[in-house]
Amino acid sequence: MSRLLREFSIIALLTCIGAAFSLFNGLAPLPWVEPDLPAGEIRLVDARVLNVLWIDARGEDAYQQGHIPDAIQLNEDNWDDGIFTLMDAWLGNPRPIIVYCSSARCGTSSRVAERLRDALPAAEIYSLHGGWDAWVH
């Protein structure tokens, strides 16, 4: 038992030394620092070069005032109607889906994207970093 404990300690120590080496040499990002681009998000510059299906997760008024061309309106309020429109569009031509809301501070796009990942597990789904603000500016 003591030998197993000693072996485990050696392995743990070597692993920690290796991880510290990665951190100090900049091979790995600091895990406690929030990344520039959170997982599941995509930058507009990257989204523009893809053939994607846009989902507008803002409210009806904001959508009527302006939206990305061909964007489908889908949020938590009109989920049942919007999901059928989205299914039709996506099944007819499967492509990445990008959800956006009003700005970097809104959380709707992330929530809608998360819900869509459960509804369409085979689809590639992102939320747009910066939201509608990024598109307008």
Partner 1 sequence: MGTLKQKSLFVLIARLVLAGVFVMAALPKLQDPVAFATSVADFRIIGPEHSAWVALGLPWLELVIGIGILLPQIRRTSGALIGLLLALFIGLHCSAWARGLDISCGCFGAETGETGSDYRWLMARNIVLLLAVALVLRQDLRNKREALGSN
Closer CB to partner 1, 34 or 80, in the complex? 34
Stretch that binds partner 1, among 12-20, 51-59, 86-94, 125-133 (CB under 8 A): 12-20
**Is there binding between residue 59 and partner 1 (CB under 8 A)?**
no
SS3 letters across the chain: CHHHHHHHHHHHHHHHHHHHHHHHCCCCCCCCCCCCCCCCEECHHHHHCCCCEEEECCCHHHHHHCCCCCCEECCCCCHHHHHHHHHHHHHHCCCCEEEECCCCCCCHHHHHHHHHHHHCCCCCEEEECCHHHHHHC
- 35: CB partners within 8 A, 6+ apart: 29
State the nearest-atom distance from the C-beta of 93 to partner 1, in Å: 17
**Is there binding between residue 94 and partner 1 (CB under 8 A)?**
no
Closer CB to partner 1, 92 or 121, in the complex? 121
The footprint of partner 1 on residues 34-53 (CB under 8 A) is 34-35, 38-40
| Among residues 1, 2, 24, 31, the one that binds partner 1 under rule CB under 8 A | 31
Interface ranges with partner 1 (CB under 8 A): 3-4, 7-8, 10-11, 14-15, 18-19, 22-23, 27-29, 31, 34-35, 38-40, 117, 121-122
